[in-house]
Amino acid sequence: MVRLKILSDAGCQSCMEEGEVETSRQFPLHYLAFVRLRLKHLDSLTFGKPEDIAETDISRLNKFVTGAKRFVDL
């Protein structure tokens, strides 16, 4: 989102740990803040790699992203 100039800071928006840089993989695959939501919509606590989520139905992914409200302010 920094490259797209949507955000000016690459810091992790969910864990807010100093020095932690947010990557495009963290939100859908690993963020602990979204474990329950990931389990509810994607039937998994976490995903090891992007390929693991590639087979997921797009409507389920949409429900996960919408439910996380991660991009509401953008």
pTM value is 0.65
Q: Coil, helix or strand for 21? A: strand
Is 21 within 8 Å of 11 (Cβ atoms)? Answer: yes
Instruction: Give yes or no for residue 65 having a pLDDT over 80.
Output: yes
Q: How confident is the model at residue 69 (pLDDT cuts 50, 70, 90)?
A: confident
pLDDT in tens, 15-40: 555 666 666 677 778 777 788 898 89
Distances (CA, A) of 72 to 62, 66, 68: 13, 8, 9
Q: How confident is the model at residue 74 (pLDDT cuts 50, 70, 90)?
A: low
pLDDT at 24: 67
Distances (CA, A) of 19 to 1, 27, 49: 17, 17, 23
